[in-house]
Amino acid sequence: MPAFLDVVGTLVWKDLLSESRTKDVLSTGVAFALLVLVMLNFAIDLGAENVEAVAPGVLWVSFIFAGTLGIGHAFAAERDRGTFEGLLLAPIDRGAIYLAKVATNVALMGIVELVSLPIFAVLYNVSPAWLQTLSAMALGTIGFSAVGTLVAAIAANTRARELMLPLLLFPLEVPVVIASVKATAAAMGAAEADSLPWLQLLVGFDVMLVAASFLVFEYVVEE
Amino acid sequence: MKIGPLAVATLAAMAAALYAALLYAPTERVQGDVQRIFYIHVPMAWNAYLAFFVVFVCSVVYLWRRGLWWDSLARASAEVGLVFTTLVLITGSLWARPIWGTWWSWDARLTTSLILWFIYVGYLLLRGSVADERRAARYAAVVGIVGFVDVPIIHQSVVWWRALHPEPVVLAPGGPAMPPSMLLSLAVSIVAFTLLYVWLVRLRLQTELARTEIRELRRALAEATA
């Protein structure tokens, strides 16, 4: 087991190192998340009376759009450089590759979210309960990445992969989106305590989605 | 095309189902004739779920045994299931307009059916966008499994989100909440639509297998002449 975790750690380190040299995902992710926040502001003409109802959804739409770009890049970049074959040839468990990709994406998406959140709070003039909001972000991002990694690995080998990814991914993410938005909405509204059941639900979704994706991932990458 | 016994049985059952739904079943007191849409809406919904369950089973067996026959069956079932789901959404809307006063509501069952529709649209589009047939089959099987496993999770999450759809009247706790003649009409309809499902899937499966055979013959021919 320690060997398995070592492999996962090494793979995550590899991906983060490669990202730190190009900063492709982080730079475009932050810019894109902010852009979505601004565009949605025009799309729904936010006023003081509807901000609490709309802001959580706006936040998660920007996270999910930015996350979809990032998660698609993870496998697309490996494909384009031909490094994914190397990864598959390495004498390591395919499950380790899956978990490493999930962990890397959670880390990168998490950084994008942490940068965007204060700017979102300023732009939309909300002051959420930070602990609950950050918990919702962490759990929601894990659930998103669990399915996202699986689907991105599939989409990377299709024609028009950037089109296939959201098409396959978004319907499967419905439970995660509902629970994340509800938890965040409770954290932004008057009833902060109401976010707890949704956070517990998110933990359950995360466990189920990671387990299911982990089990079938090896069938996606067998070549 | 040869007319087999299955086609004849489907036709006869469909005629009986139409008679039962439109003439035999009594008119519902509150909803009136609109309620008769129930006799095609519910059987199609049941068959759509059956179809996606078949996709799930075939996907598991495909990943395990790797027979392309299972993959073709999964594909055929997904296509028929998608048609049924589309019709379920349309007939449901037609019923909801006079009864609820709105074409659509974001109720748990409606929302789940819509998401289900999107999952299998994605499933079929995915199959079309992978060139290699073995790889397409493998990817489709993974989506067929994850998609189906996700359905109860989606449904439960939407239930907690909100609920409005009428409670089940047939599988209600304490026995069916409808007169026997209505129940009989529904049973006839379910048999008819299940036969229709099997017949359509068989038709699609035969087409699919014929296509595979042609592809292999072409390949053999190309190798022989090269």
Return the number of other C-beta atoms located less than 10 Å from residue A14's C-beta: 14
pLDDT surpassing 90 at residue A161:
no
The pLDDT value recorded for residue B226 is 79
* pLDDT reading at B29 higher than 70: yes
When pLDDT is averaged across residues A123-135 and rounded to a whole number, the result is 89
Cα B122 to Cα A165: distance, rounded to the nearest angstrom = 9
Phi and psi (nearest 5°) for B32? 75, -155
Interface test with A, best of B120, B126, B159 (most A CBs within 10 A): B126
Nearest CA in chain B to A160: B129
> How many beta carbons lie within 10 A of that of residue A193, not counting itself?
10
Contacts of B117 (CB under 8 A, 6+ apart): B82, B85, B86, B89
ipTM greater than cut 0.85: yes
Give B120-164 pLDDT, tens digit per residue. Answer: 999 999 999 998 888 999 999 999 999 998 888 888 888 887 655
Backbone angles phi, psi at B28, to 5 degrees: -65, 140
Residue B60, chain A, CB below 8 Å: the answer is no
Are A167 and B122 within 8 A, CB to CB? yes
CB atoms within 10 A of CB B73: 24
- State residue B46's pLDDT score: 94
B-chain residues near A159 (CB < 8 A): 129-131
Choose among A159, A168, A174: nearest Cβ to B122: A168
Nearest CA in chain A to B162: A178
* Mean pLDDT (whole number) for A204-217: 93
Q: Name the interface residues of A facing B (CB cutoff 8 Å).
A: 147, 150, 154, 157-160, 164, 167-168, 170-172, 174-175, 178-179, 182, 201, 205, 208-209, 212-213, 216, 219-220, 222
**Which range has the worst mean pLDDT, A103-107, A120-124, B137-141?**
A120-124
**Binary contact (A179, B157; C-beta < 8 A):** yes
Mean pLDDT, to the nearest integer, of B58-84? 94
Residue in B with minimal Cα distance to A152: B139
Give pLDDT tens digits for B169-225.
666 666 667 888 899 999 999 999 999 999 999 999 999 999 989 988 999 999 998
Q: A134-157, pLDDT tens digit by residue?
A: 999 999 999 999 999 999 999 988
Of B154, B146, B155, B128, the closest CA to residue B56 belongs to B146
Q: Which of B121, B142, B154 sits opposite A154 (nearest CB)?
A: B142
Tally A–B CB contacts below 8 A: 77
Q: CA torsion, points B106, B107, B112, B118, in degrees to nearest 10? A: -20
pLDDT tier at A173, thresholds 50, 70, 90: very high
Instruction: Answer whether 0.95 is exceeded by the pTM.
Output: no
**Are the C-beta atoms of residues A168 and B143 closer than 8 Å to each other?**
yes
- Greater pLDDT, A191 or B137: B137
Does residue B225 sit at the A interface (CB-CB below 8 Å)? Answer: no
pLDDT at position B106 = 85
B25-32, Cβ contacts within 8 angstroms, sequence gap of 24 or more: B25/B181, B25/B182, B25/B185, B26/B179, B26/B181, B26/B182, B28/B182, B31/B98, B31/B99
Query: Across the interface, do A222 and B138 touch by the CB < 8 Å criterion?
Result: yes
What are the angstrom distances between the C-alpha of B55 and each of A158, B23, B77, B114, B140?
21, 35, 6, 18, 10
| B65 in contact with chain A, both atoms CB, cutoff 8 A | no
Higher pLDDT, B117 or A159: B117
Residue A102 vs residue B25, higher pLDDT: A102
Residue of A88, A154, A222 best to disrupt the B interface, most CBs of B under 10 A: A154
Whether B156 and A147 lie within 8 Å, measured CB to CB: no
pLDDT in tens, A3-55: 889 999 999 999 999 999 988 899 999 999 999 999 998 888 777 677 877 88
Residues of chain B in contact with residue A205, where contact means CB-CB under 8 angstroms, are 153, 157
Give per-residue pLDDT as tens, A63-97: 999 999 999 988 888 888 888 888 888 888 899 99
Who among A172, A175, A201 is closest to B146 (CB)? A172
Single-letter amino acid code for the residue at A176: V
Tell me what pLDDT residue A80 has: 83
pLDDT of residue B107: 81
